[in-house]
Structure 1
Amino acid sequence: MSLEPRPDDGVPELTARVVRAAFPKGTLAIRIREALGLVFDDADFAEAFPGRGRPAISPGALALVSVLQYAEGLSDRQAADQVRARMDWKFLLGLELDDPGFDFTVLGDFRTRLIEHGLEEEVLDAVLARVSDAGLLRAGGRQRTDSTHVLAAVRSLNRMEFVGETLRAALEAVAAAAPDWLAPLIDSRWVERYGAKIDSYRFPKGVDVRREWAEQVGRDGFVVLDAINAPGAPGWLRQIPAVQVLRRAWGEQYHRDDEGVRWREGKDLPPGRMRLASPYDLDARYGIKRGSGWTGYKAHLTETCEPDELHVITNVATTDATVDDAEMTETVHRRLDKRQLAPGEHVVDAGYVTAAHILTALNNHGMTLLGPVNLDTHHGKQDDDGPDLSQRAFTIDWNQRKVTCPRGAVSVSWSDQVKSSGTPITRVQFAATDCRPCPLRSACTRASDKGRYGRSLTLLPREQQEVLEQRRQEQRTEEWKKRYDIRAGIEGTISQAVRRTGIRRTRCAGRAKTHLGNVLAATALNIIRIDAWLNGTPLGATRVSHLARLALAA
């Protein structure tokens, strides 16, 4: 297909007359066309189409349809039917009333082209540019970010289910591609174990029996891999995707040595971030947050939040489920800078904030990162009238590399170290001879009486430590808490994304496709919000149950 950008000649006269007569109050599609025009320009997607060949369907129109299908929760087939059947969609797309539309498979091909050419963000960028041109969006101001889980389009599997289904999928693929080659390797017991999907298999009971079952699956898998790697085997068998997944999964799940095949356990397993969670989605990972686990991804949404202004989503980031929020803070800032939409103040929850992030945001991006930092983890509980034994009560002399405790004792050890994460720290320790006779010892430290050292402190680099202590002091004040209250609004955005676009369950396998779906969902929310803003629709109030309202009244 070749791209031949079509000019925007406006809405055909007959389409405009009929639609306005049928919808005198307008619809979302009609109002968006009147306010923003065609929205997407074909030239924005030119990179995804060659210069020669049969003319392609307008990519600008396909982008708009892709956004509308997320706004209305439609499948590809339903969205293509709407293009043929709905007059207001024809009005938005600038089509004649008798336009036959296109086959629904074109939408999937269009998304694939976007991913292959790295154009996933173009859809969101185009809408943000339109909003900026209309004077409704600017850099500076305040923005807020939060994340939500996204379930992969696969079942969550425990380890036994995972290895069983991985081998079953590989056998199914090989049986379809080379049945005569596979037949001598298997017998009726293999068909019993792997003939049906693993969720229909009744696993044996008992820890030892289950372990033996898992190791039997491992031995069977190695039989298949050894046969495929044998000199006489067809070389193309190694290139079958399911076989490549089997090889990778068996390296993660099993040991094989002179003693046989053994099930990996505990620390012998690769970290969760590196380990496959499903044979059908190689990017999905199993993550846990606040005690809840899921297989899939995370979506990080950033939106403007100035009072009495249009709130639009300015950035979408998609990671696997194991990535901590703190790892995305700088990425979000760089993307906002690239769009020239960096805020003056970025409001986030504690997961995105460290002392290093606060400094980097200010020094590299000129923005204030507003969010709570972790409190001092000192074990002692301070009474109202008791002494303060937290870290802030210690006097740090950075030049002399000494720390003085509230009772006047001076540290005897100052050691610069690096954590496993790469963060530089300083470990400060006080002599046990100073701590042992101290009357506050039991409230100050849990160090052993017989040890060489007593109380110890862990410090960040000087600039970070000072910022950390300053933020800890600030976030105790009512003024800071009131300023931070605006962060709660991002929960409403996530709720809207879940209800209107189903963002918590991806439609496709793979992080790239999931990210594109999240971008389309965020763009759909922006379209809905722009329409509401132009109509003067106020923001929804926080819902309060009748029982809670009764309690408030009492």
Structure 2
Amino acid sequence: MLRRTEAQRNFFDDAIFGRMIPPDHPLVAIDQAVDFSFIHDEVKALYSPDQGRPSYPPETLFRALVLGIWANLSDVQVAQQLRFNVLFRWFCRIGWDDPVPDDTTLVVFRRRLKASGVYERLLDRVVEQAKAKGLGRGRWMIVDGTKVVADVAIRNQLELVREGRKRLVRALQRIQPERAAKVRALAEPLPDADYPDREALLAAESACGEALLNELEDVPEPEVRRLAAQYRAILKGEGMASFTDPEARWGFQKKGEAFLGYKVVASCDEDGLVTAVTVAAGNESELAQVERLRAAWKRLRLRPRAVAADKAYDASTLRQQLQDEAVRIYTPRKYRRSTLPSGFRYEAKADRVICPAGAMGRPTPHPQGGFVYVFSQRTCQRCSLKAACLKDGRQRQRVYLQPDKDRTRPKGIRLAMRVRKVIERVFAEAKKWHHLGRARYRGRLGVAFQAVMTFLVINTKRMAAWSGVDRAWQGV
């Protein structure tokens, strides 16, 4: 049964908190700048109005989750701090004689937020408050992504193949011990010395895995079926790299730097107010997540005049979509600059390239976007200017152009790249002070919740600094 946070404290609580709470502490500034009461309306559908025991007030539990992100504490540590930390009790609206929620209560509350999808609205509510207070000019929207390493141990393919068999037998042991005893031999690793090389050993281990899957084909237990499906994905090499976090994938944030985990793609304005967040697997494109960010901008009625992003977002489709909404996008060129060789000219109306001798190149679509204008080999070989045009043993001239990008690419890229650094500072703050660089929870949904809560906390710090209450602690 849902219970609302008490609006007033008793005289004894006021006396204690009034003497012990430092007025210049950042949590005091956040409490004065942000109204967390919205959580009650957001979660009331998750509770029965008249059945069950009275719950802890959702605002109290939500404030406890905020403290976990703000101070980099686990659920157990937050529950421990609430028992003796006067400042934390005051922030969570827990009186001196009130019961303190334990870590299990916090876990259950967080699971409710994740399973219902309510957590996606929480960042919106904070952004709405910030905009109402005048924070964020909103002329720019900056988009970027950062990696979040999964909270798992790294396993190679051979280790995964062996681990999967053990997990399957253990799951079978819990429901059918006698049958598990019969197939237990298939879960044992093969002797490394019996095989000439690693490839032969891996093939033999995989064959044992296939045999075990065939033995368990008729087991109806959901847990066994789930593990069997994951194990098949491992044997087929379909990208799964961990049984602990099956949704984590290998990806690259930079060339040559692989990681196992997820990509958090976010947007913020030029004042560092984070407006939207989405999470993708490590091997997915950041560009594909922009549509969800744009949906959040529309939901919040944000109307940026320009978007700044790195070269991963240099795509003709996105550029055209934003242009249709009268929004300019500034990105460095993802591929090599399309330039005309000396003496060549491009006629936009006829969409053709003409060489110094007057011959015309035929346009062919390029997989990176734009066109390759190809000239006839017979014409080039007979041309008197071929010595100047054809170099490195080429038989005919080819000119690569991106007319659509060149027409819609606005000026001012240097200013835009300076503005783009704002989101890099936001990501640096999220990783240094709130440990966003590594997943606190497992699965895409867990990482999404962590990212939303992290940027929500960062926004509350911006609001406290903006209100003038937290000037001395603004960098904390």
Q: Same fold (TM over 0.5)?
A: yes
Q: Does 1:317 align with 2:262?
A: no
Q: CA deviation at 1:119?
A: 1.3
Partner of 1:455: 397
Partner of 2:346: 395
Partner of 1:20: 18
What one-letter code is carried by the residue in structure 2 that aligns with 1:80?
Answer: A
Partner of 1:287: 251
Partner of 1:301: 266
Q: CA deviation at 1:397?
A: 4.3
**Alignment of structure 1 residues 395-414 onto 2, 5 Å:** 395-399=346-350, 401-411=351-361, 413-414=362-363
Shift in alpha-carbon separation, 1:377–1:529, aligned structure 2, 3 A: closer
Which of 1 and 2 has higher RCO (CA within 8 Å, sep 6+)? 2
Structure 1 segments, 4+ long, off by >6 Å, are: none
Partner of 1:466: 407
**Alignment of structure 1 residues 121-132 onto 2, 5 Å:** 121-132=120-131
Return 28-37 or 435-444, whichever deviates more: 435-444
> Which of 188, 204, 210 in structure 1 is aligned with 2:198?
210
Return 296-305 or 41-50, whichever deviates more: 41-50
Shift in alpha-carbon separation, 1:301–1:203, aligned structure 2, 3 A: farther
**Alignment of structure 1 residues 350-429 onto 2, 5 Å:** 350-364=311-325, 366-374=326-334, 376=336, 389=341, 394-399=345-350, 401-411=351-361, 413-415=362-364, 419=367, 426-429=371-374
**Alignment of structure 1 residues 520-531 onto 2, 5 Å:** 520-531=453-464
Contact persistence 2:21–2:86 (CA under 8 A): no
Return 10-19 or 41-50, whichever deviates more: 10-19
Question: Residues 243-279 of structure 1: CA distance to partner in whole angstroms, max 9, x if unpaired?
Answer: 23123333x24xxxxxxxxxxxxxxxx5xxxx21212
Partner of 1:191: 188
Contact persistence 2:143–2:265 (CA under 8 A): yes
Partner of 1:513: 446
Per the alignment, in what secondary structure is the counterpart of residue 221 of structure 2? helix
Partner of 1:242: 227
TM-score by length of 2: 0.88
Contact persistence 2:33–2:460 (CA under 8 A): no
Q: Does 1:146 align with 2:144?
A: yes
Identity %: 20
Shift in alpha-carbon separation, 1:291–1:59, aligned structure 2, 3 A: same
1-side partners of 2:77 and 2:462: how far apart?
Answer: 23
1-side partners of 2:194 and 2:299: how far apart?
Answer: 56
Which runs of no fewer than 5 residues in structure 1 stay unpaired? 194-201, 254-269, 383-387, 542-554
Shift in alpha-carbon separation, 1:465–1:539, aligned structure 2, 3 A: same
Shift in alpha-carbon separation, 1:446–1:50, aligned structure 2, 3 A: farther
Per the alignment, in what secondary structure is the counterpart of residue 114 of structure 2? helix
Return 518-527 or 438-447, whichever deviates more: 438-447
What one-letter code is carried by the residue in structure 1 that aligns with 2:151?
Answer: A
Aligned length: 471
Shift in alpha-carbon separation, 1:286–1:38, aligned structure 2, 3 A: closer
2-side partners of 1:508 and 1:221: how far apart?
Answer: 29
Q: CA deviation at 1:8?
A: 5.3
Shift in alpha-carbon separation, 1:409–1:98, aligned structure 2, 3 A: same
Q: CA deviation at 1:90?
A: 2.7
Q: CA deviation at 1:448?
A: 4.5
Contact persistence 2:363–2:373 (CA under 8 A): yes
What one-letter code is carried by the residue in structure 2 that aligns with 1:356?
Answer: T
Contact persistence 2:143–2:309 (CA under 8 A): yes
Per the alignment, in what secondary structure is the counterpart of residue 282 of structure 1? coil
Shift in alpha-carbon separation, 1:463–1:164, aligned structure 2, 3 A: same
Question: Residues 460-512 of structure 1: CA distance to partner in whole angstroms, max 9, x if unpaired?
Answer: 5x644522xx45xx4xxxx5414431222322211111111110110222101
Question: Residues 153-188 of structure 1: CA distance to partner in whole angstroms, max 9, x if unpaired?
Answer: 11222222222222232223223432310222343x
What one-letter code is carried by the residue in structure 2 that aligns with 1:389?
Answer: P
CA RMSD of aligned residues (A): 3.1
Q: CA deviation at 1:133?
A: 2.7
